[in-house]
Structure 1
Amino acid sequence: MRTRPASMLPRLALPATLLMLAACAPAPIYKTTATAVIATPLQAAQTPERYSNQPVIWGGRIVQVKVFSDHSEVELLAYPLDSSQRPKANDSGNGRFIAVLSGYAEPLNYPSGALMTISGTLNGSRAGKVGEADYVFPLVAVAQSHVWTADEMNRGRNNVHFGLGVGVGIH
C-alpha cells in the first residue's frame, strides 16, 4: 500500500477549501439564454431600438415603486450581478431602468433601498427625470422578479477574517 507524503497535504487543502466555499454559494435564480442582452441599462437607454424585445437579467437597488390601474413599475439603479445573479451594490451604478410588473405589486414588498433581480424582455424606453435631470429609462416587461433578503445576500460569502488585535466581547 502506498501512502501520500505529508508534503502533499498543503497542495490538496487549497483545492478542497475552494471547492467547499464554492459549494456554499447559491446557484443563479434565472436561466440565461444565448440571446440575453449583455448590455447595461445605460447602454440600452442610448440605443433602445437595438435591444428591443431582447431578454435581460438585470438587478439593482429599488429607488421607487409606482402602482397603476393595470400594472406596477419599479425604478431601479442598476448594478452588475455576481455569479448567483445578486446585485453587487458596492460597485458603481450602471444606469437606471424601470421593471414593469403586470397587475398590482404591493409597494411594501418592494421597499426602497432593497436589492432586486429581474428577468424579462426589453420593451422600449421612456423619457423621464432623475431629480431635475432628463433621463431615458429602458423598460423591462418582467417575467420573474426576486427581492433579496440580507441573509440571501450574505449566503456563500467568505466569513473568514484574519487580523491582529485584542477583542472584548460581552455575552
Structure 2
Amino acid sequence: MRQRLAHVLIRGVLPASLMTLAACAPAPIYKPSSNTIAIAPDTVAQAPERFANADVIWGGRIVEIRNLADRSEVEIVGYPLDSSQRPKADGSGWGRFIAVMPGFVEPFNYPSGALVTLAGRVTGSRAGAVGEANYVFPLIGVAQSHVWTADEMNSGKSNISFGVGLGVGVVR
C-alpha cells in the first residue's frame, strides 16, 4: 500500500506541483516578430551592417541617458533575458548598446542602474568609448521599453531552495 501511495505521489502530485510553480513565472512582455533575432549586442557590434534592420528584444542595466533636441539615447549594459524577458544581471554583461528613443526621456523614469527590457530594431552603430577604451555601440531604434521594478523582478521566482549544509546557532 505504501509503495502504491509513493507511486501516486511521484507520478501525479510532484509533476503537478512543479507545473504550478512554473506557471507562476510571468509571461514574456514582448512578442518576437518574424524578423526578431536572438543575438547578443557584442556580436552585433562586431558586424553591425550584417544585422541592419533586424528586430531585437534586449535588456540590461541603464548606464546613462543623453537627452538631445529630437531624441534621447539610453546607454545600456546588456544582459541575457530570462523566460519572462527580465534581464539576468547576476552574471557578466554581453555588450553595451544605445537605445534611441523619440523625444524626451525623463531620467527619473529611467534611472541609472535600473533594469530595462526593450523591443526595437538595429539601426546602425556608433564608435565611442567606455572609459579610455574604444567601443562600437549598436544603435537600437526603440519601439517599446519597460523599466522593471524590484517587485516585478522577484515575482514568479520560487522561494523554495534545496541544499545540504551545516547550520550553527548561538544560544544566549
TM-score, reference length from structure 2: 0.90
> Partner residue of 1:134?
134
Query: Secondary structure at 1:73's aligned position in 2?
Result: strand
> Partner residue of 1:17?
17
| Runs of 4+ with deviation above 4 angstroms | none
CA distance in 2, matches of 1:26, 1:161: 19
CA distance in 1, matches of 2:169, 2:118: 42
Question: How far apart are residue 155 of structure 1 and its match?
Answer: 0.7
The correspondence of residues 43-82 of structure 1 with structure 2, limited to 5 A, is 43-82=43-82
Question: How far apart are residue 166 of structure 1 and its match?
Answer: 6.4
State the Cα deviation string for residues 83-130 of structure 1 (Å, max 9, x = none): 100000012111000000000100111111110000001000001110
Query: RMSD over aligned Cα, in angstroms?
Result: 1.7
Query: Secondary structure at 1:6's aligned position in 2?
Result: helix
Gaps of 5+ in 2: none
Q: Which residue type is aligned with residue 154 of structure 1?
A: N
CA distance in 2, matches of 1:164, 1:149: 34
Identity of counterpart residues, as a percentage?
63
Question: How far apart are residue 161 of structure 1 and its match?
Answer: 3.2
Q: Which residue type is aligned with residue 110 of structure 1?
A: Y
**Structure 2 residue 171 is matched with structure 1 residue 160:** no
Question: How far apart are residue 164 of structure 1 and its match?
Answer: 5.8
Question: How far apart are residue 152 of structure 1 and its match?
Answer: 0.4
Question: How far apart are residue 167 of structure 1 and its match?
Answer: 7.0
Number of residue-to-residue matches in the alignment:
165
Q: Which residue type is aligned with residue 152 of structure 1?
A: E
TM-score, reference length from structure 1: 0.91
Question: How far apart are residue 35 of structure 1 and its match?
Answer: 2.1
